Structure 1
Amino acid sequence: MCGIAGWLSYRRDLTTRAETVDAMIDTLKRRGPDDSGRWIDRHAALGNRRLSVMDPQGGRQPMTAESDDGTVVLVYTGETYNFRELRGELRSRGHAFRTDGDTEVVLRGYLEWGESVVDRLNGMYAFAVWDGRTEQLHLIRDRLGVKPLFYHPTDDGVLFGSEPKAILANPLAERTVGLTGLRELFSYAKTPGLAFWEGMREVEPGTIVTVGRDGLRTRAYWSLRTLEHTDSPDATVDRVRELLDDISERQLLADVPRCTLLSGGLDSSTLTALAARRLKRDGERVRSFSVDFIGYTANFVSDGIRESPDAPYVRDLVAHCGSDHRDIVLDAKDLADPALRAEVVTAYDFPPCVGDMNASLYLLSKEVRRHSTVALSGECADEVFGGYKWMYDAGAQKADIFPWLVQGAGDETVDPFERAFTPDVEKSLGLAEYARESYRSAVAGIERAPGEDDREFTMRTVSYLHLSRFMQLLLERKDRMSMAAGLEVRVPYCDHRLVEYVYNAPWSMKTADGREKSLLRSAAADILPRSVAERVKSPYPSTQDPLYAAALRDQARDLLASPNHPVFDLVDQGLLAAAVAEKGPATTQGSRSALERALDLAAWFDAYAPTVRPY
């Protein structure tokens, strides 16, 4: 796992711009704390920051292959889980290998098959290949978009990087955010390809971007297709389990300590139990980690989204599978720390505005990194198997907007937190209509399976929207918070084989026991304690400590004392003052979110000094 960055310029001599290239690479040090590398030629410069996971001694980057026709250079981030099979095939075709990891396999695979190497890769990856034989740069991202890759076209080439900060380190990229970027951020639409900063794009999942002297072109090499599902219910459960067994075994492969992130829910518990069974064969115990808050379990109150605290179920799973477990317990003071907020905002390169869940994930990742370098996460099982409450809400299913934006049955109101903005900004953003337009674009290409009735097609649409849009928000969060701590988090439920198979299984099979995620529950029933298998879905926890909300109010009060702060070009001071003035031991969810949003935006203005154009 690494961070990559580079610059392609057909009219400049980049050998004279090494200092700028190094600055771009150095922004990614947290993603790759173990090593750094750079390759520069006249028109192309590629760099890497490395987190050593596979072949620590031999996997240095950039990797090159020389020929009479030119040099091929690769910088790569991620993991290819089937690299051993591919290496065997490439050896049979005459390729020799100097290293034991997956990076050289991808390079040799490109030499053998060109861009089509992507059709053979199973994994999470983002990489760039400079082909000196054709003087073209290829930017390639995995099928589900687990690993990020951004680019910024220039007048004679392109800038690219694993995170926007690498591109922003180049003087050709301006720190400007326009109306589209703000709409994307605050509407939770996550349009594929769009980026927050003006001039930037994100390589879409399953896509290759090629830049040459004649310009830039994109090619999708994978998409979520509608296929007829012919397996019986029992055969479908068996196939899901077969895939999970194979995926978990592949993703446990590493030359560094591994662990799982355990919440006590169905998703992470299944992976932990599978990992425990696999590692036991090698005489190992699986390590597991969970996040908790001081007093959370003892004082837990259902918030309508989370029905139960994690800790009791974590204990049941740990006792059942015998993992070597640690609880990471956080307090309100740490979560509300302004310095931590600044770190989270800097990791994103934009204000994430979703509160303490980012902060706690970052602190969890930092603590886990003290013990392990690789962690398996249950992220995205809800998108794959159908786990969210709103998926089962009739109003959300029928609304002409993304289901996760529907506030209650039949209500089609977009995220109400837009009320934090000034009236002029709120009117300019037009978030409700923007989200509806994005929704209409997202559903336009969904195909109905042969013989699929209206109910099944409605639920196929709901599934598609979560896999293609909502999941990207969660993957982005997981990547930024974990990689900022130098922790590689793998997401087994994003294996494209599993996603393709379950997507095409009928909704009736996904809810066969009258509940959410029936396929996963049935596939894992024999390896889980009953309490965990039957647990009602409870999302990632959020602190309920009133001291956290009180700290937010104090910080927002200090912010209001600086009325000329640029954040008030967006945020309505009166609304923020009303949130600060709330009385009682706790702050309402809407007001708490308004406080968090304003503070995140202020931290972003302080860190980036951006030019913002909301009109």
Structure 2
Amino acid sequence: MCGLIAVRAFGVSDNLQRRAQHALNTLARRGPDAEALHQVEQAPLTVLGHCRLAILDTSRAAQQPMRCPLTGTTLVFNGAIYNFVELRNELRELGCVFVTDGDTEVLLHGWRIWGEAVFSRCNGMWAVVLWDSSSGDLVYCRDRLGVKPLYLHHDGREATLASEISAIAVMRGGYPAPNPEKLFDFLVTGFSEQGTATFFEGIHAIPPGMVCRMSRTGHFSARPYHQWPEPGSMAPLSAAELRPLLEDAIRLRLRADVPVASLLSGGLDSAIITRVALNASQQPRQALTGAFTYGYCEAEQAPFDETARAAALMQSSGHADLHRIVRYSPIPSADELMALVGVQGEPFATPSALASFRTYRAIREQGYKVVLSGEGADELFGGYPARYLSVAARDALKSGRLVGLVNMLRHRAFPPGLLLNRLVWELPRAPLSTLLRRHRPSADLMSDDLWDSQRHRLAAIQNGMRSSLEDLLRQDQLNNLLPMVLRIADRNSMSAGVELRSPFMDHRLVERALSTPALMRVSERHSKTLLRTAFRGLLPASITDTPKNTGFGHAEQFLVSRLPWQELLNDMPSALRAFLNTDKLRSRLATDNQHSTLWLALSVALWYRKFYG
């Protein structure tokens, strides 16, 4: 788990290695254990840089950039290949000799033996850049879901690949202009990671599941090494199959040569991970030695505090001594809030991100480098009942399945007003535009210039909002919600030098879930039916049979008006007015009647202040 940079100059480039070193310095928090640069032997001028968070084989021999002694191919890698032991055994049978006991050398030998096919053999999360000695190509690749980040900027003279946009900004001498299309989409939908565009013009995320190449002459190519199955193309996932598959994913993600902890809330996903990991901890190189829960200091936040439920689980498992509770006030200082904004690098959809930002720091302070967490369970198994059941109700209404609609409304699994919200997107474009500007603060707070120049994008947004439940679950997993969750999780964890591992992101599990009909994953009564059924008996009924009403950092979502916005919105850069009506934003924040999308506008304002102020 690390930070990486790769720079290639296609002409004369001043001080490339010195600038690459400065860029690598911006990633130091991702890998505080070691750093190095390597300049390849052949033209064009190419530099690979790496800062290391040592997790597997913590010796100096496993440091990067790592060079193949047989071919000269050189690699930098951010992530973890969980099945590296099995792959190494295969490669040894093919004659490979290993000098390290980690996953990086497995990738290097795997490239030599299997070429691009190595990536389809990997179970893990990764962003990899390698200089291929035989072709001179820079080859770069992300894992199937894009758990680990990788960005590209290319201006015709110089191309930079990096784990974070901050490193690219150093290489080009500053941040590019804001991307108005991205700002518009975010303020309308709240989604930040759709497609490859970023909030900065000319900087793009490398798409997941692709092997990309940059030739010595600057020619770019890409091809998929993985494609997700369509619904119904595989047998539906049953509860009986789900449990052993997830248990194996958890066991694989326990592999580490450093202490491993779990992030434990009071809910189903983290309870499954923690209990299974505790049961597996007798195996070699597998030991869960801590579980951390985020809680609040003040009684006012008691309804959102999950520490009692988490403590009860640890007590029932016989491992109460491993439980750690960290408590905070939900209201950050201005400095802490802006530190979070800086770490995230782009606008983000919820202030609840503050909870993980704090928790990973506390975890690292107690000596842990690896944390297991439950990202992806909600998107895979329908864990947002209000979001998904309101769509199921709309689908039932549109198709005339009135009995199903009545049943969903009778169970009161979502506020009936959400059904109306869904139906609004069925309106023609003109009345839809009027309603958005009138009733959604984040849309209303856009400048007139931004709205007028980008309102044509409503056609694509509206098409997505009209998706069926089946399509919505798939979009949330691959394009909408999960990529946003993964970005927030990566930046927050890596800012503390913590590797975050998510068993629900195991590609074997994702494939089976995506091929399982939506209504098998989302019932009319509550969320995550398959998960609850699969783990009854292992977990207390209070967890498997009782949906919780809170989430990680839940209190922060409802306290936007109490954030230290007054001092932060003073003396904002005047150019922000091209995108936001800052006077109206201040006025809305000062009122008691807060809408959930108000944070979106504030997030944009704070991002602009941080990176353009």
Q: Compared with structure 1, are the counterparts of its residues 198 and 437 closer, same or farther at alpha carbon in structure 2 (3 Å cutoff)?
A: farther
- Contact conserved, 1:249 with 1:278, CA < 8 A, in 2? yes
| TM superposition score normalised by structure 2 | 0.85
2:474 aligned with 1:464, yes or no?
A: yes
Q: Quote how far apart the aligned CAs of 1:222 are.
A: 1.3
2:217 aligned with 1:220, yes or no?
A: no
2:169 aligned with 1:168, yes or no?
A: yes
Q: Quote how far apart the aligned CAs of 1:424 are.
A: 3.2
Could you say what secondary structure the match of 1:408 adopts? Answer: helix
Q: Compared with structure 1, are the counterparts of its residues 160 and 434 closer, same or farther at alpha carbon in structure 2 (3 Å cutoff)?
A: farther
Instruction: Kindly report which structure 2 residues correspond to 1:307-322, keeping only aligned pairs within 5 A, or say none.
Output: 309-322=305-318
Q: Compared with structure 1, are the counterparts of its residues 19 and 30 closer, same or farther at alpha carbon in structure 2 (3 Å cutoff)?
A: same
2:424 aligned with 1:419, yes or no?
A: no
Q: Distance in 2 between matches of 1:311 and 1:207?
A: 41
Post-superposition CA distance 1:458-516 (Å, at most 9, x none): 44212211111221011111111111111111111010000101221233432469532
User: Equivalent pairs: percent with the same residue?
Assistant: 27
Could you say what secondary structure the match of 2:487 adopts? Answer: helix
Question: Match for residue 185 of structure 1?
Answer: 186
2:4 aligned with 1:8, yes or no?
A: no
Q: Compared with structure 1, are the counterparts of its residues 185 and 84 closer, same or farther at alpha carbon in structure 2 (3 Å cutoff)?
A: same
Q: Distance in 1 between matches of 2:53 and 2:93?
A: 30
1:369 to 361, 364, 368: 364
Amino acid at match of 2:328: L
Q: Quote how far apart the aligned CAs of 1:573 are.
A: 3.6
Q: Distance in 2 between matches of 1:407 and 1:12?
A: 61
Q: Distance in 2 between matches of 1:128 and 1:232?
A: 36
Question: Match for residue 67 of structure 2?
Answer: 64
Question: Match for residue 410 of structure 1?
Answer: 420
- Contact conserved, 1:145 with 1:206, CA < 8 A, in 2? yes
Could you say what secondary structure the match of 1:410 adopts? Answer: helix
Q: Compared with structure 1, are the counterparts of its residues 376 and 232 closer, same or farther at alpha carbon in structure 2 (3 Å cutoff)?
A: closer
Q: Distance in 2 between matches of 1:488 and 1:88?
A: 25
Question: Match for residue 147 of structure 2?
Answer: 146
How many residue pairs get aligned? The number is 568
Q: Quote how far apart the aligned CAs of 1:10 are.
A: 3.2
Question: Match for residue 84 of structure 1?
Answer: 85
- Contact conserved, 2:259 with 2:288, CA < 8 A, in 1? no
Instruction: Kindly report which structure 2 residues correspond to 1:477-556, keeping only aligned pairs within 5 A, or say none.
Output: 477-511=488-522, 514-542=525-553, 544=555, 551-552=562-563, 555-556=564-565
- Contact conserved, 1:285 with 1:322, CA < 8 A, in 2? no
Q: Compared with structure 1, are the counterparts of its residues 342 and 549 closer, same or farther at alpha carbon in structure 2 (3 Å cutoff)?
A: closer
Could you say what secondary structure the match of 2:135 adopts? Answer: coil
- Contact conserved, 1:397 with 1:462, CA < 8 A, in 2? no
2:594 aligned with 1:589, yes or no?
A: yes
Question: Match for residue 402 of structure 2?
Answer: none
Question: Match for residue 124 of structure 2?
Answer: 123
Q: Quote how far apart the aligned CAs of 1:539 are.
A: 4.9
Question: Match for residue 455 of structure 1?
Answer: none
Instruction: Kindly report which structure 2 residues correspond to 1:13-162, keeping only aligned pairs within 5 A, or say none.
Output: 16-41=15-40, 42=43, 43-57=45-59, 58-67=61-70, 71-156=72-157, 158-162=159-163
1:428 to 453, 461, 478: 453
Q: Compared with structure 1, are the counterparts of its residues 395 and 417 closer, same or farther at alpha carbon in structure 2 (3 Å cutoff)?
A: farther
Q: Distance in 1 between matches of 2:232 and 2:51?
A: 43
Q: Distance in 1 between matches of 2:22 and 2:180?
A: 29
Could you say what secondary structure the match of 1:436 adopts? Answer: helix
Q: Quote how far apart the aligned CAs of 1:563 are.
A: 6.8
Post-superposition CA distance 1:155-198 (Å, at most 9, x none): 14521001111111112775211322323433334322222211
- Contact conserved, 1:276 with 1:285, CA < 8 A, in 2? yes
Could you say what secondary structure the match of 1:85 adopts? Answer: helix
Unmatched runs of 5 consecutive residues or more in structure 1: 301-307, 444-457, 611-615
Q: Compared with structure 1, are the counterparts of its residues 397 and 225 closer, same or farther at alpha carbon in structure 2 (3 Å cutoff)?
A: farther
- Contact conserved, 1:257 with 1:373, CA < 8 A, in 2? yes
Q: Compared with structure 1, are the counterparts of its residues 60 and 285 closer, same or farther at alpha carbon in structure 2 (3 Å cutoff)?
A: closer
Q: Quote how far apart the aligned CAs of 1:425 are.
A: 2.9
- Contact conserved, 2:250 with 2:276, CA < 8 A, in 1? yes
Amino acid at match of 1:7: V
Q: Distance in 1 between matches of 2:222 and 2:213?
A: 6
Q: Compared with structure 1, are the counterparts of its residues 473 and 285 closer, same or farther at alpha carbon in structure 2 (3 Å cutoff)?
A: closer
2:277 aligned with 1:287, yes or no?
A: no
Question: Match for residue 448 of structure 1?
Answer: none
- Contact conserved, 2:273 with 2:372, CA < 8 A, in 1? yes
Q: Quote how far apart the aligned CAs of 1:114 are.
A: 1.0
Q: Distance in 2 between matches of 1:557 and 1:568?
A: 17
Q: Distance in 2 between matches of 1:272 and 1:532?
A: 13
Post-superposition CA distance 1:53-79 (Å, at most 9, x none): 111113200001144xx6211000100
Q: Distance in 2 between matches of 1:163 and 1:93?
A: 36
Question: Match for residue 404 of structure 2?
Answer: none
Question: Match for residue 571 of structure 2?
Answer: 562
Q: Quote how far apart the aligned CAs of 1:126 are.
A: 0.7
1:327 to 325, 331, 335: 325
Could you say what secondary structure the match of 2:149 adopts? Answer: coil
- Contact conserved, 1:38 with 1:48, CA < 8 A, in 2? yes
Q: Compared with structure 1, are the counterparts of its residues 271 and 438 closer, same or farther at alpha carbon in structure 2 (3 Å cutoff)?
A: same
Could you say what secondary structure the match of 2:48 adopts? Answer: strand
Q: Quote how far apart the aligned CAs of 1:217 are.
A: 1.1
Could you say what secondary structure the match of 2:490 adopts? Answer: helix
**Larger CA deviation: 141-150 vs 504-513:** 504-513
Q: Compared with structure 1, are the counterparts of its residues 520 and 6 closer, same or farther at alpha carbon in structure 2 (3 Å cutoff)?
A: same
